Each structure stands twice: as structure tokens, then as C-alpha cells.
Amino acid sequence: MATTATTAPAAHRCSYEDYEATADWLRSQTEQRPKVAIICGSGLGGLAEQLENRVVIPYKDIPNFPQTTVEGHQGQLVFGTLEGHQCVCMQGRFHTYEGYDVYKVTYPVRVFSLLGVRTLVVTNAAGGLNSSFSVGDIMLIKDHINMPGLVGNNPLCGPNDDRFGVRFPCMSDAYDRDLLALAQQTAEGQGIGAFVHQGVYCMVGGPTFESIAEGRALRTLGADAVGMSTALEVVVARHCGLRVLGFSLITNMVVTDYDSTLKANHAEVLDTTLMRTQDLQGLVRGILAQMPVDPEDLYK
């Protein structure tokens, strides 16, 4: 009988023991015990270069880890300290369009949770849908539309493992409101508030960029930016109780006009990340500098 995305064969899902084996192996490679994980988007891996006391581990050496296949994603974990926080940075993420299933794409997030991570920072390159956005703007993600999840391709499909989280997790609080406010306030303090906005990120499957009708449809649905990542990682992070802060760098505007001759392309995406990478790094550093090291103290 044919299987569907909602009933992925057990072999495609990962067991608690798989995640534990990876976490144990990582613990054996470094004494660092990160509380913050950062997933770097396309062309945004430079953030990992900012860490101090770096321990770099290529994905190819990590048991059960997938490999990156996309230009702009280096394929290594970097442990280190940033603004007083013990961090682990993914210099390169995984996408379903690379051929990985939703369980593999989100595999690192559960490993991070087992390592003791409490806060997940996600960054991505995204196409702008909101007509008030410009190329080079930074969008603080306040919510998402998980398009693969809505049609049943959700990394939480399958038997629930209560050791990670509940069967039916809430997503109305996916992006931590206090961290969002801290991010907005930090952006203003750094004088970059004019190009920092809040908005809704829509994850699509890719690897095709949107047709004009798709771009228009996503805008009508309420998306401000679109990309091919992030939402699945956030769903798994929230399931295991991590706090999430997300950033989209608007690398191109989605074409929604039949008279336009613009054509979305990955080279443009990577070029724009070069233009704004310093600002985004400065913003993340500024937020971490003000975030209590122990997340339990965050709102005291």
C-alpha cells in the first residue's frame, strides 16, 4: 500500500536513541554545553565566525547528521561563546527540497534540546511579499504559515514521543513575544529600526521560486515574506519547549506583477546577504548581550 506524508514509514522517522546517540557523541567532542542554538540561513553563516573559543565539527563527522548540498550553507556545527552565551551554530541547514524528509530536516533541533539548549535563534533568506518591504530589510518573524505542515507534511506526524513534548502543541505562541520586543528595541537602539520590521514568514517546499499567481496567493493569505525553511525547525523546537527568535533577511522581492521582467535567483539571494550580513550579526549580538544567560531569568 502506498504511504503518504502523514504516515511516513517508521524507518524514516528517527528514534529517541538516534537523537541521544548524536547528542552523546557531540558531548564527547567538546566540554561546551550550549544554552542557545543558532541556525544560519543562506549566506548568513558569518554569524558563526563571531563566536569565541570555537570548536568546529563538520556535519560529515557527526553520527546521523545529514549533509548540506546548497551553496551558501557550509555544513558544520560551531560551538563557542557569543556575548557571554554558550552557543552552538549551524553553519548550514537542511531543506526538504534537497531530498531530506521533515524528520531529517529538523533532526538537529531535537539534538540541541538534548544538549541542554533552551533558546533557538533562526535566520533565513526570504523573498519579500509585503509591498512596504525593500530588498535588504530585516523582518523579525512574529508568526509563520507552515505550508508543508498544513498539508500533512509535519515533522511531528507519527507516534508522539512524550519525552520531547505533547501530542498537540500550541503554535499561537511560536515566536517568543518578549524576545521579539527585545529584538525590536535593540534594532531601534542600534539605529537600524528604519529597515527592521515585524511580519509573517511563509514556508513553502521549493526549490522553485514562486510563480506570480503563487506570490499573489501567499500575500493574500497574510504572508509578508516567503522562504523554503524555518517553520519545520520552529515546530520541533516549540514541541520540545525551546524559546524561538526568528529573522528573515529580505533578499529579493517576490514578483507579483505580470509586467515585471525580474526573475528570482539564488545568486541574487546570496549577493543581498553580503550587503546586510554585518547588520544582522550586530543585531543578534546586541540581543544576546541583553538576554540573561539563564533563560529562567529572562522576565525577572
**Residues with a known catalytic role:** 42, 73, 95, 97-98, 125, 228-229, 252, 266
Tell me 255's DSSP state.
Answer: P
Smallest distance, ligand HPA to C-beta of residue 225, A: 8
Residue pointed to by grid coordinates 529562567: 296
95 with 105: CB under 8 angstroms? yes
93 binds, among ligand R1P, ligand HPA, none (CB under 5 to 8 A by kind): ligand R1P
User: Which amino acid does the sequence have at 217?
Assistant: A
β 119-128/225-227 pair status = antiparallel
CA 104, CA 13: separation in Å to the nearest integer?
8
Smallest distance, ligand R1P to C-beta of residue 21, A: 26
* Number of neighbouring beta carbons within 10 Å of residue 30: 18
Binding site for ligand R1P (CB under 6 A): 41-42, 70, 93, 95, 124-125, 206, 227-229, 266, 269
41 binds, among ligand R1P, ligand HPA, none (CB under 5 to 8 A by kind): ligand R1P
Taking the least distance from each CB to ligand HPA, the nearer of 86 and 256 is 256
Taking the least distance from each CB to ligand R1P, the nearer of 42 and 153 is 42
Taking the least distance from each CB to ligand R1P, the nearer of 79 and 247 is 247
254 binds, among ligand HPA, ligand R1P, none (CB under 5 to 8 A by kind): ligand HPA
Cell of 225: 515574506
Binding site for ligand HPA (CB under 6 A): 125-127, 209-210, 226-228, 251-252, 254, 264, 269
Taking the least distance from each CB to ligand R1P, the nearer of 95 and 104 is 95
Name beta bridge partners: 243. 119
Measured from each CB, the residue nearest to ligand HPA is 127
Smallest distance, ligand R1P to C-beta of residue 206, A: 6
251 with 272: CB under 8 angstroms? yes
* Number of neighbouring beta carbons within 10 Å of residue 46: 15
CA 184, CA 196: separation in Å to the nearest integer?
8
Taking the least distance from each CB to ligand HPA, the nearer of 223 and 240 is 223
The alpha carbon of residue 68 and the mean position of all alpha carbons in its chain are separated, in whole angstroms, by 15
Smallest distance, ligand R1P to C-beta of residue 294, A: 29
210 binds, among ligand R1P, ligand HPA, none (CB under 5 to 8 A by kind): ligand HPA
229 binds, among ligand HPA, ligand R1P, none (CB under 5 to 8 A by kind): ligand R1P
144 with 203: CB under 8 angstroms? yes
Name beta bridge partners: 253. 128
CA 144, CA 124: separation in Å to the nearest integer?
13
Measured from each CB, the residue nearest to ligand R1P is 41
